[in-house]
Structures are given as C-alpha cells and as structure tokens.
Structure 1
Amino acid sequence: MGTSGTGRARTTASMADVARLAGVSAQTVSRVSNGYAGVTEETRRAVLAAMKELGYRPNSAARALKRGSFRTIGVITFSLATTGNVCTLEAIATSAAHEGYAVTLLPVALPTQDEVRGAFTRLEELAVDAVVVIMEVHLLDAAALTLPPHVQVVVVDSDAGDRYTVVDTDQAGGTRSAVRHLLDLGHRTVWHLAGPEDSFAAQRRADAWRATLTEAGRVPPPLLRGDWTAASGYRAGLDLAAHEDCTAVFAANDQMALGLLRALHERGRRVPADVSVVGFDDIPEASSFLPPLTTVHQDFAEVGRLCVETVLRTVREGEVPERGTTLVPTRLVRRASTAPPPGHGAQRP
C-alpha cells in the first residue's frame, strides 16, 4: 500500500514516539533537537534516525521559548521597487543567514504611520528577535509615530538618528565626489536629476549637490525631479537635452541615468562629448550602459552586515545600541560617461 515499514509516518509523531523508537528518554530527544552537548554520537544518530523514520519535526516555537530566541530578524520595508531597498534586503538576508538567523519580510503597502504600526504588530505575532526598518520615506521623523519600546530596532536610510540606531550610506559624501569630479573636468556647473521629494536619500543627495556647487562659487541650475525609474529619467532627459548650456548632469540613481542617456542620444546630444553623466548606486549593469556609466558606488553588503551585527549584538549580549547614525563610505567609479566639456582644453583624468 506504499506505507513505510512501521506505518508510523502517516500520523503526527510526538517527542515521546521518537524516544520510544530510539530507546532513549524524551529529555535526550530534546537535547538532540536543540543541539545541546552531553549526548554521545551513537545516541544522536539513533535519535535522528528515529526522527526521520517518523517524520518528526521539532516545534521551533517551543524551542525558541526555551532558549529565549527565535533566531529570526524581521524586516519592514515600504518598497521593493528600488535598487537600494532590494540590495539592502539581500545583504541583510545574507548576513543573517551567515549568523544562523532567518529573515521575515513584511512589506508595508502604504507609506502611512498606521501601516508601520500595523507591521510591527504583525511581526510581534510572527515572533522575531529584532527588527530592521528600511523606510526611506518621511515617517520616522514624525512625532506621532513611536516604535514599540520593547522591540530592538535598527533603521536604514533615515534622519531618525536622534531617536533610533540608524545605518546608512554616506549620501552626502558620495554626491560631493560626483559633483566635484564634474567640476574638476571643467564644467561650469552641474544639473541634477533628483529622486522623489519624500525620499530621505533623494533629499540628502539634492542638498549635497546644491551645497557643493555653492561652495565652489557656482550657481545651481533648476532641479529636475524623477521617481527613481528609467522612464522618469528619460522624460527629464528630453527636457535637459533642450538646454544647450547643459554639459554635465548628476542623476540621483543609475536607473534614471539610463533613461537620461537614451533621451540625450535621441536628441543628438553625445555622451560624454556634449554632456557628461554621473549616476548613483553602481548597479551591476552600470558598466554595460552605452557609454559605461560613471557612478557612485554604494556598499550595500556593508550596510546589511552592520544592521545584522547591531541587532544581534543586542539580542545576544543585551547591549542596547546607541542612538545615532553610522555612515558607510562611498566611492566614485569613473567610467566613459564623463569628460571635459566641449571646447575645454583639459585632459580626461
């Protein structure tokens, strides 16, 4: 009839069933299930064989309650549509797995305070040890939003360092390196294609772009705004192509830079001979753009590692993380999309 030799796998096995089949006590089965020492290898093999034969799965929730840890990190994020959020999430999951922890993802449908509160409630029900919040929109700076005090929280991409532990890319430093690179090539000024108004990252990049130009004695041109997508970069590029005095553009991310490159090409503006373009993120495809894109490299892996390291230090050692912001450095990756402006005698670095 297709049953096993004992026929026991058809029913839900208990720890007592495993103990009887292996000829040991239930306490010994518990020790094997939880990976405790003090069990001989022969006994351990016998218990594992009995578990396999009976189809027994240890109750992870019960084990978590005993050891006071669920070995799970919750991640709340508003959007999975942006490169930054996806890469950060991947880095968190990779770092967590390396430490033997799983990740429970809870996307927030709408960027509202009620949705964020609801996400924390659901994560508590799912039993997590700590939470990483990837929330680039302006929510955590709202006085009305207070995260649960008993939940250890690390925030990515936020200005909430006065109330929470924040890990972020050095947005301002990366922007300054991009703008200075273009000015050093001889461009009189640098136009900026910014991200959405409600994004902390977009805000910091736009502020740093404006400040760098002002410090250099240059007048910032009118800011253009996109929504992180290549389509919005294309639309902005059609506008920029009409400005003959535009010889350099800093795009707030690589996807918008991609759309910008297409628009400039369609309007007959050569890159970099007529217009230089710099992006931000250094996505894997950036080196395959036409021309290969000069961009600011973000170390998403390090951001994820620091998030996991911080929350696990709290979980394992009971150490309360200090409030404030840890910035992960960026670096400018120079490729073929930047050059001196037309008629400029400087040589490319």
Structure 2
Amino acid sequence: MGTDSIAGGPGPRRGASQADVARIAGVSGQTVSRVANGARYVDAATRERVLLAMRTVGYRPNRAARALRTGRFQSIGVIAFELSSVGTTHTLDAIAAAAVEIGYAINLVPVLDDTDDAVRAAFNQLGEQAVDGIIILVETHRLDGVTVPEGLPVVVVDSSAQYDYPIVDNDQAHGARLATEHLLELGHETVWHVAGPELSFSARRRRTSWQATLEAHGRVVPPVLPGDWSTGSGYEAGLRLAGDEQVTAVFTANDQMALGLLRALHEQGRRVPEDVSVVGFDDMEEAAYFWPPLTTVHQSFDEVGRRAVDTLIREIHSTEHEEQEGLVPTRLVVRASTAPPRSTTA
C-alpha cells in the first residue's frame, strides 16, 4: 500500500531556476547570475528587482557549485574580541550589512580567551569553514606570533599597531585630542581622564593622545583614573573626583563611563557643566538623552564596517598584497555637558 501511495502522489518538486528568476524580473540569465554571484556592476534598481524575483520563486544559488567553478565561497570570516563593547557590536552590524549587500555570508568566531592558542583555534575553525578572507576586530590581543593560513586575505580593525595586513579603524587619537582641546579652549586649566581597560588598544590610544595633548599645551597631566568601560567604573571614578574642587573638566574614554560619572557628580552636589565639564567618547545613541546631554566624540562604526568589507574584497580579488591603513575621521559633538569654568565666566 505504501508503494501505491508513493506512485500515485505528486512527483518531486522542481527547484526554481535562474531562468525562472530571469523571466519574472525581466532580465537576462547573465544578469541573474551576476546578482547571485555578488557582482558590483549591476545597478541598484535591477539588483533589487532580481532579488525580489529570487524571493518570489524561492530561488537559492548553489554556493557549492559556484565555489567549484570560481574557487571562491562567497563567505567572510570574522574574528571578534570583546563582543559586549559598543564599538564591536556596531561594527559587526555594519560588516554584516555590507557583506549581505554584495552577496557574501558571514561566519563569526568570537574569541573569549585572550591567548595565542585561542586566536590560532579561531583561524583554524574559519579555515575549515571555507571562507574567502577574514576580518579581525582586535581589542586586546596582538597578532604577533599567530600564523594566518597561507593565502588567506586578512583585514584588521585596529589602529593601535602595525600589522602586515590592511588596517581600518576610527581615528582614536584624533578624537581624544579633539575632546581634550575642546575643554582646554573653554578655559579649563587641565583635564582629568577616566581611562578604559589597560589591555584595550583603543583605550590606550585615547589615553596616550589625551596626555600628549595636555603636554603639548604645557598643562599639568593629572593622575589617570582606571575604568573598565562600564557605567559602574565611571561612577566610582566620579565619587573620587567629586570631592576635589580643582577638578573642573573630565574626559572619559567612553560614554558609558561618562554616564556613571554624571550620576556620581550629581549625588555629590557637583553641577554639570557649571562646576565640572564632562566629555565622553563613542556618541552612543543614548548620549543625546543623558542629563545633561553629553558632549562626546562621534565614531563612525558604520563606515569602519563598510571599509573593512570593501578592503577585504579588494584583497580577495587582488593578485598583489597591498599594505594600507584606512583611518575614518572622528568628530566632536558638542552638547550641554561642557562649558567654561566658573572662574572665567564670573
């Protein structure tokens, strides 16, 4: 009976073909192939029409067959440290969006153990998953001594060290200089700093630039208050700073610590910006809604993600390795948390 039921039932369902997509989209089969392969020279309107037709008929490109023909897998590996940080989260979002736009898949491998073995394991894992190249979001680990699989293109998101790979990042040092100079130009004698974690490359860049800026202007460099990116560490630093009347300006290494700092100052009766001016770093979405709204350094995580993908694709298709550094400009966003010190406004 089972045989009769099978024989009398419908035959195997034919999968949608490129010809089906081409007919519905009103384009040639070659155009469908170009869109399926992520080619960049298809105009946006045509690409969207073809993608809509693919979704309508349920067409799925055969990646395995394409890999056999081209030697490429249309897949990008991403190794990421510090997944919880604002910068990493936003950059990952931008990388994923840029990759999808050109028809590439993303394989994410988080590195939770900051050791050479953990980084090697991440490279090995991506090598086994057949990726065309790798983007590394570096935060606390230098790649010295870690061997990348031969012939695999790599792009590093980190401006803190020189690697034998293309580098893309926000200009951390420039942003910290803008923050510090803004406070000095308002008339503050010096600027205190709540730093990020000691092992963080971006925190080091901001701290070094803050100190260099003060020294370049002939100002006293106050002791650094250590933080760990968290709101709680900013709050603790704020409690320590609030009791010192000499403290009139503070630059925090990120917005989350600035939020904790603002709360501590408020609790201790120090008004912002009348008594203490505060500048953050990142320009997270919530910064405009702090009280008072936070002056901060804007980082373009979207642009960094897009440039990282664009640079990697160039590396994948290039016959020669190109060492280059692509720093995305940072800018100061002035809001209500900064003002001249009271002594200069009296």
Name the residue aligned to 1:272: 273
Name the residue aligned to 2:339: 339
1:125 corresponds to which of 121, 125, 128: 128
- Mapping for residues 107-186 of structure 1, pairs under 5 Å: 107-140=110-143, 142=144, 144-186=145-187
2:106 corresponds to which of 103, 106, 120: 103
Name the residue aligned to 1:202: 203
Inter-partner Cα distance in structure 2 for 1:269 and 1:316 = 57
Is contact 2:159-2:171 (8 Å) kept? no
Aligned residue for 1:116, secondary structure, equals: helix
Inter-partner Cα distance in structure 2 for 1:325 and 1:209 = 22
Q: CA deviation at 1:82?
A: 0.4
1:82 corresponds to which of 78, 81, 85: 85
Cα 1:299–1:56 change in 2 (3 A) is closer
Name the residue aligned to 1:35: 33
Q: Which amino acid aligns with 2:83?
A: L
Query: What RMSD, in angstroms, separates the aligned Cα atoms of the two structures?
Result: 2.9
Cα 1:4–1:156 change in 2 (3 A) is farther
Name the residue aligned to 2:12: 8
Q: Which amino acid aligns with 2:248?
A: T
Aligned residue for 1:64, secondary structure, equals: helix
Inter-partner Cα distance in structure 1 for 2:268 and 2:8 = 72
Is contact 1:154-1:311 (8 Å) kept? yes
Aligned residue for 2:229, secondary structure, equals: coil
Inter-partner Cα distance in structure 2 for 1:181 and 1:279 = 12
Inter-partner Cα distance in structure 2 for 1:57 and 1:293 = 47
Is contact 1:136-1:200 (8 Å) kept? yes
Structure 2: gaps of 5 or more residues? 21-28, 36-52
Structure 1: gaps of 5 or more residues? 23-30, 38-47
Q: CA deviation at 1:241?
A: 0.9
- Is structure 2 residue 75 aligned with structure 1 residue 72? yes
Is contact 2:160-2:202 (8 Å) kept? no
Is contact 2:159-2:327 (8 Å) kept? no
Name the residue aligned to 1:41: none
Give the ranges of 4+ consecutive aligned residues of structure 1 lying more than 3 Å apart after TM superposition: 55-59
Aligned residue for 1:343, secondary structure, equals: helix
Inter-partner Cα distance in structure 1 for 2:117 and 2:93 = 26
Q: Which amino acid aligns with 1:6?
A: P
Is contact 1:282-1:295 (8 Å) kept? yes
Q: Which amino acid aligns with 2:244?
A: H
The superposition leaves residues 31-76 of structure 1 with CA deviations (integer Å, 9 ceiling, x where unpaired) of: 89x8379xxxxxxxxxx99xx7xx9966422322222221111110
Inter-partner Cα distance in structure 1 for 2:8 and 2:101 = 36
Inter-partner Cα distance in structure 2 for 1:300 and 1:14 = 40
Aligned residue for 2:343, secondary structure, equals: coil
Q: CA deviation at 1:7?
A: 4.5
Q: Which amino acid aligns with 1:240?
A: L
The superposition leaves residues 282-334 of structure 1 with CA deviations (integer Å, 9 ceiling, x where unpaired) of: 11111001000000011111111111111101223434222x42211111000
Superposition TM-score, scaled by structure 1 size: 0.83
The superposition leaves residues 160-203 of structure 1 with CA deviations (integer Å, 9 ceiling, x where unpaired) of: 42422111111111111110100010100000000001111110
Name the residue aligned to 1:313: 314
Name the residue aligned to 2:283: 282
Inter-partner Cα distance in structure 1 for 2:174 and 2:59 = 54
Is contact 2:159-2:170 (8 Å) kept? no
Residue identity (%): 56
Aligned residue for 2:155, secondary structure, equals: strand
Cα 1:190–1:93 change in 2 (3 A) is same
Name the residue aligned to 1:25: none
Is contact 2:194-2:224 (8 Å) kept? yes
Name the residue aligned to 2:47: none
Is contact 1:112-1:139 (8 Å) kept? no
Q: Which amino acid aligns with 1:8?
A: P
The superposition leaves residues 92-140 of structure 1 with CA deviations (integer Å, 9 ceiling, x where unpaired) of: 1111122221211111121111111100111111111110000111322
- Mapping for residues 294-313 of structure 1, pairs under 5 Å: 294-313=295-314
